[in-house]
Amino acid sequence: MAVMRMSGEAHALVRHTHQERVLRALRERGALSRGEIAEAVGLSRTTVSEITRDLLRHGAVVVVDTDAASRAGSGRPAERLALDPDSGQFMGVDFGHRRVRVAVADASHEVLVSGRQTYPESAGWPERIATAFELIDRLGAERGVHFRALQGIGIGVTGPHPRSSAPHAPEGAFGPGFAAARDDVDVSFAERFGASVIVDNNTRFAALAEALAGDGDVENLLYVRLSDGVGGALVIGEQLVSGATGLAGELGHVTVAPGGRRCRCGKRGCLETVASVPAMLAECRERGADVGSLEELASATDPVVEQVLREAASALGRVLGAVAMVFNPAEVVIGGDIARTAPVIVEQASETLGAELFPWVAANPVVRCARLADDDGATGALAALFRSSPLLADHPEPAPVRALPA
Amino acid sequence: MAVMRMSGEAHALVRHTHQERVLRALRERGALSRGEIAEAVGLSRTTVSEITRDLLRHGAVVVVDTDAASRAGSGRPAERLALDPDSGQFMGVDFGHRRVRVAVADASHEVLVSGRQTYPESAGWPERIATAFELIDRLGAERGVHFRALQGIGIGVTGPHPRSSAPHAPEGAFGPGFAAARDDVDVSFAERFGASVIVDNNTRFAALAEALAGDGDVENLLYVRLSDGVGGALVIGEQLVSGATGLAGELGHVTVAPGGRRCRCGKRGCLETVASVPAMLAECRERGADVGSLEELASATDPVVEQVLREAASALGRVLGAVAMVFNPAEVVIGGDIARTAPVIVEQASETLGAELFPWVAANPVVRCARLADDDGATGALAALFRSSPLLADHPEPAPVRALPA
């Protein structure tokens, strides 16, 4: 009997590892056919079929549809499998400077509800959190969705987000009570929903979403976002780079104008003091151009405005070029509404960046506008949850494995 | 009988995975006590003892010494185990601009022989390779060592080293026939020694060696070396960052003086045109200071020389600061003889870098001089081999595992 027991345990352990890989692929990528699973996890079709048969039998995985709509060939449509949608829900929350966005997805990556609600920029954390809770209640009521099985909550916040042991920015520098954000926000959400919470910089979440949003995943991506501030993030090998103390990615605070304007971070002449939307608006007004909003900035035909945008994009291109020389990304993505609405930004940044790289390199990184909108922080938080969540590893244990005949 | 066979196979697979982890720890770190192995691989002392007993019985591992010399406590000295030194040798080769260095270590990380030999900077690859082979023959003959069991050869070369599919720098820009280096060098060594060869930038190898040289391994390290050129490398999570096309780490070619001196890379005003040793010497002479060598540069008391060194270190500090803002390293290491012999370099670079970072961050990265000498490329190539080599995975298979009594 000892031998039988060893056999079952050891064999189950090996199969469990294979199952974990299949479940991880479905968790990270959503619905997949058996063939796509086999390719993703590097197991044979036969082994994948055996594993998915077990998972289907235990209800951890369900058939959601077939690939008939998307397939190019003429063969029989393949079933697509996904984690059981009812096995858990995931919530992504993105606290911007003036609005919160919420998206809730099931385990198959289907977004069940999403929405946004504004608050004044002066709102403190209690008000922002209350606004988010009201939004969540309203979304649930409108769609008849109950957030009864939240498996994890990812929350994006503005500004640098160092690890707990590291010092934080001065109170108020990057938002209301930023130093208190982590404690207040994660405790409030954890208590309200009884789920585990991860909190990080929303630009990092957006970068991860961007790396995963294309046709193929981008392994090495440099991301920058121009909005009320200038944030950034690095993705290497499909993982966010957090750095030694959690402060990686702060492209907005690289110096571009030594001795220049004072930045809210405490330094002078940071990229953010030149290329954030408020900085560009202020510079236009200083030069006599009458623009008061991002929309006016993007649509203005005044050559002064174009010059300001070009100078800002040029400073951005120099920073991106320096970072690209060291980090050698495949793609450089510029996010933020202004990058989408004023094409001169990506055009000029790309040109300046190109001049900063080796002239003999044929293939410089692709410089492009972000695919996702500024609200992508919530989606990115969901992507981070799907990639990091160990929660679904708790699916029902497989039944004892019987030895196959020789 | 079917059940018995499954049991043996499945159980052996699990144990084999554990064995692999133990062997990898010994391959990467050299001799370790059983306690250190347990800590490194995250297995219990009991499991590690069982595994090492098997490995000792099969001769894959041997007892090399005890930790009596290094231990602080008064307990019984613990045996230190290492891979069987006779199970293979590894060769690290570093081709600099004017010399080649060779080091050969056994599988327990013991360096058996090492030495260096100069060649003129004008020497082409055939001459450099011939010089290396002569050096290796001489070292072997002098010490009576036969390179009969080379398991791998790591070769460092100067200049950017993109992946094979990517375009290379113009012929001659970074050394003689650099574009041909990979083909010529690796084929020559592979044919001569019948071993597999990896070729990479020698600064990257040096950075890896530096990350592993301290008391504790450094997970996130930014490395720059000032010598005939200025090279650099990033280590994240104890892995070298190679980038999308293998060109990561080129700190020397970040622009610091727009429109400045022409660089051999084809751009203008790169850090290398300001902070390489030849650039600093030329600048001193241009300002009327009579210095002709690195030694004179380091020992000069002329205030003009100090000013030139400070300006170069300041430019270096700005680049390091920008990269550190994005990459958030734990340590910034400055290599090259000049950094060791002229303390003003590290001092000024550290001060400038500090001013580029968030003023409210209490713990900036440690900026320090490299621990290892300029010849560290050969050691780094060995470190890369020890970390990547799958070769020792081919040790004898474990004997069939018997089921333990219940």
pLDDT band at B307 (very low <50, low <70, confident <90, very high): very high
| ipTM exceeds 0.95 | no
* Eight-state DSSP code of residue B24: H
Rounded to an integer, what distance in angstroms lies between the CA atom of residue B206 and that of residue B226? 12
Closest residue by Cα to residue B360 from A169, A215, A341: A169
pLDDT band at B7 (very low <50, low <70, confident <90, very high): very low
Of all residues in chain B, the one with the smallest CA distance to A324 is B248
Give me the residues paired with residue A223 across strands: A233, A333
Hey, what amino acid is at A229?
A: G
Of all residues in chain A, the one with the smallest CA distance to B247 is A328
Of all residues in chain A, the one with the smallest CA distance to B218 is A244
- The per-residue pLDDT for A249 is 93
A265 touches chain B (CB under 8 A): yes
Instruction: Provide the token pair at B18.
Output: 């554990």
Rounded to an integer, what distance in angstroms lies between the CA atom of residue B273 and that of residue B279? 6
- To the nearest whole angstrom, how far is the Cα of B272 from the nearest Cα of chain A? 13
Of all residues in chain B, the one with the smallest CA distance to A231 is B326
CA triple A372-A211-A349, angle to 5 deg = 70
- The per-residue pLDDT for A216 is 62
Rounded to an integer, what distance in angstroms lies between the CA atom of residue A32 and that of residue A36? 6
Mean pLDDT of chain A: 81
Rounded to an integer, what distance in angstroms lies between the CA atom of residue A77 and that of residue A33? 10
Interface of A with B in 151-190 (CB under 8 A): 160, 162, 166-170, 173
Residue A340 or residue B23, greater confidence = A340
Interface of A with B in 345-364 (CB under 8 A): 355-356, 358-363
- Please state, in angstroms and as integers, the Cα–Cα distance from residue B4 to each residue in A14, A47, B399, B402, B403, following that order: 16, 22, 15, 10, 9
Contact A61, A81 (CB under 8 A): yes
CA triple A247-A251-A253, angle to 5 deg = 85
Residue B12 or residue B200, greater confidence = B200
Q: Do B267 and A358 touch (CB under 8 A)?
A: yes
Determine the average pLDDT of the residues in B206-226.
Answer: 82
Of A248, A265, A403, the CB nearest to B327: A248
The answer, yes or no, to whether residue B150 has pLDDT greater than 90, is no
B366 touches chain A (CB under 8 A): no
Rounded to an integer, what distance in angstroms lies between the CA atom of residue B19 and that of residue B27? 12
A127: CB partners within 8 A, 6+ apart:
A119
B11 touches chain A (CB under 8 A): yes
Beta strand spans in B10-107 (E): 32-33, 61-66, 79-83, 89-95, 99-106
List average pLDDT for each run of 10 residues in chain A, which is 406 residues long. Answer: 35 62 81 89 86 82 79 76 79 90 85 91 90 94 78 84 53 53 77 84 86 73 93 86 88 95 94 97 95 91 95 98 95 94 96 92 84 78 71 33 32
Percent of chain B with pLDDT over 70: 81
A317 touches chain B (CB under 8 A): no
- The per-residue pLDDT for B146 is 75
- The per-residue pLDDT for A183 is 62
CA atoms within 13 A on the CB side of B388: 18
The answer, yes or no, to whether residue B5 has pLDDT greater than 60, is no
Contact A12, A54 (CB under 8 A): no
pLDDT band at B192 (very low <50, low <70, confident <90, very high): confident
pLDDT band at B392 (very low <50, low <70, confident <90, very high): very low
- The per-residue pLDDT for A171 is 53
Alpha helices (runs of H) in A301-391, residue ranges in sequence order: 303-327, 337-341, 344-356, 376-388
Of all residues in chain B, the one with the smallest CA distance to A254 is B322
> Phi-psi category of B229—alpha, beta or left, where left has phi over 0 and alpha has psi -120 to 50?
beta
Residue A305 or residue B213, greater confidence = A305
- The per-residue pLDDT for B15 is 60
- The 10s digit of each residue's pLDDT in B243-289 is 888 889 999 999 999 999 999 889 999 999 999 999 999 999 999 99
- The 10s digit of each residue's pLDDT in A137-161 is 999 898 887 776 788 899 988 876 6
Domains and CATH numbers, chain B: 2-83 (1.10.10.10), 87-204+380-388 (3.30.420.40), 215-370 (3.30.420.40)
A243 touches chain B (CB under 8 A): yes
A325 touches chain B (CB under 8 A): yes
A7 touches chain B (CB under 8 A): yes
Hey, what amino acid is at B374?
A: D
Of A322, A328, A404, the CB nearest to B254: A322
pLDDT band at B211 (very low <50, low <70, confident <90, very high): confident
Q: Exposure pattern of B39-58 as b/e (b: 16+ CB <10 Å)?
A: ebbebeeeebeebbebbeee
- The per-residue pLDDT for B311 is 98
Contact A400, A7 (CB under 8 A): no
Determine the average pLDDT of the residues in B182-194.
Answer: 81
Burial-class residue B268 by CB neighbours within 10 Å (0-12, 13-18, 19+). middle
- The per-residue pLDDT for A76 is 78
- The per-residue pLDDT for A195 is 81
Q: Do A168 and B360 touch (CB under 8 A)?
A: yes
3-state secondary structure of A390: coil
